[in-house]
Each structure stands twice: as structure tokens, then as C-alpha cells.
Chain A
């Protein structure tokens, strides 16, 4: 891979995840991006917890990142910005997947205003 492209090896994957899940919002209408308050309240605690874990792991040397394959923006001196974005992008993609399953299969996930009718014996 060309040197200038190599630094986007990590960031590019995150962009790809965002792009490939976008049809779930636009075509399936999962309404994840369009519920920003709920999304923020969900994602921010996750980011906080996992950034702390990440910083600890980097500090203890559990894992390390290739400077040639990251854009080079470090948070708190050690954390590649891609890691922070990972903890934003992955939960969004996961939520969109769960909502997509709910839409397509009509299975309840537990936040329905009224309990979904249980048609086929115990399908939860």
C-alpha cells in the first residue's frame, strides 16, 4: 500500500463500517442516528469505560499500535484517535444491527411500550 494511504489503514476500516451500516438507517429505517439523545447517552459511558481500559492496556503494554498505519493523532499522549473513534463507531453499528433484527423479524428487545404479542409460544 502506498505510504500516504497506509496511515489510513485503521481509520479507513472505521469509515467503511459507518458506510456499510448507513443503509440500515436509510433503507431499513432503524432510526439510530435520528435518536441522538438516546445514542449519546448510550455511547458516552461506553467510550469512557473503554478508553480507560485502553489507556491501562497501553500503559501495561498489552497492545501497541503501528505508527505507520495510524494517522498519528494521540490522545492523552498515548491513545491513537482511531481507538476513540472505534468506541464510537462499533456501538453505533451494533445498535443498528440489533434494531435491524427487530425491524425485520419483529422480535422484541425489551424496550417496547407495550409488550409485543407473543404469537408463537415463547419467542422472546
Chain B
């Protein structure tokens, strides 16, 4: 099989796993697509480095691209063949499905956030709630 065929197959298998086999259903979640948008941006950068510098080279017979390393066009995006985007999508979706799948099984499910940023937000929200309550009390106390 060519890289093109394998890449399409990889995406199909990952999608089927997500929707029908593992039934994690990340493809239906806003969190997944938002995360993927961030991931694909960085993938284009790192992949652009790997392919633009020809650290990795591809057989033109196995890809849609004619083999010339161009920034955009000829089935390449930021130097990388489009097949790499499909490869990356399958890799990322499979990994995230397994991660969420294990969480659903109860493996290391919680806690899932405890950083300084999180604590600061919690404190901010607690303060806002207190102020709300105080304002409410003040309103109610009025004759």
C-alpha cells in the first residue's frame, strides 16, 4: 500500500474506533476540536521543520506530492505532504481516545486540575460569589 492509502485507512480506523468500537465519541466534542486546532497548528510547525530541512524525505511514488519540497501546493502544506496531516490526525485521535477511555474505566480519573492557575481562578470565583451574596443580603435588608 502507498502512504496515501495507509494514511486514509489510518483516519478511517481511528474514526471507527472513536465512534463505534471504543465509543468514546471525542469527534462529537467541542473540547476535542478546540484541542485539535491547537495541536494541528504546532504539528504544522514541527512537521514543517522536519520536512523543510529534509530530515524526513518521502517517496513521490508513495505520496500525492511529486516529491519537490515546496512551502505550499503540490499536495504539501508547510513543506509536509498532506498524508502527514492524516497520519497525525489518526495518531492524535487514537491517543486521546485511549486516554479518555481509560479515564472512563476509572484509571487515574481524578483529580484533573490543580495548578496555580486553577487555584487562582477558584479563589477569584469564590470571592465573586461572596460579593454576590453580600450584595443580595444588603438588598434584602433594605425595608
- With A and B bound together, what is the CA distance between A91 and B96 in angstroms? 8
A30-B115, A124-B28 in contact; A111/B53 too (CB < 8 A)?
no
- Please determine whether B31 and A35 come into contact, CB atoms closer than 8 angstroms: no
Q: How far in angstroms is the closest Cβ of chain A from B4?
A: 9
- Please determine whether B102 and A107 come into contact, CB atoms closer than 8 angstroms: no
- Please determine whether B94 and A49 come into contact, CB atoms closer than 8 angstroms: yes
> B110-143 toward A: CB 8 Å interface, digit per residue (1/0)?
1111111110000000000000000000000000
Q: How far in angstroms is the closest Cβ of chain A from B65?
A: 12
Q: Is B64 an interface residue (CB 8 A)?
A: no
- Which residues on A sit within 8 Å (CB–CB) of B57? 63-66
- With A and B bound together, what is the CA distance between A114 and B118 in angstroms? 20
**When A and B form their complex, what is the total count of cross-chain residue pairs whose Cβ atoms lie within 8 Å?**
173
Interface SS of A by simple majority: helix
- Please determine whether A38 and B31 come into contact, CB atoms closer than 8 angstroms: no
Q: Is A75 an interface residue (CB 8 A)?
A: no
Q: How far in angstroms is the closest Cβ of chain A from B71?
A: 18
Q: How far in angstroms is the closest Cβ of chain A from B105?
A: 9
Q: How far in angstroms is the closest Cβ of chain A from B75?
A: 14
Residue of B nearest to A95 (CB): B99
Jot down 9 A-B pairs with beta carbons below 8 A, ordered by A. Answer: A13-B49, A41-B107, A62-B6, A63-B57, A66-B54, A66-B57, A97-B35, A105-B31, A107-B34
- B residues at A contact (CB < 8 Å): 2-3, 6, 10, 24-26, 28-32, 34-35, 38-39, 42, 46, 49-50, 53-59, 62-63, 88, 91-92, 94-96, 98-104, 107-118
The 6 tightest CB contacts between A and B, nearest first, are: A29-B115, A111-B103, A91-B95, A38-B108, A35-B108, A107-B31
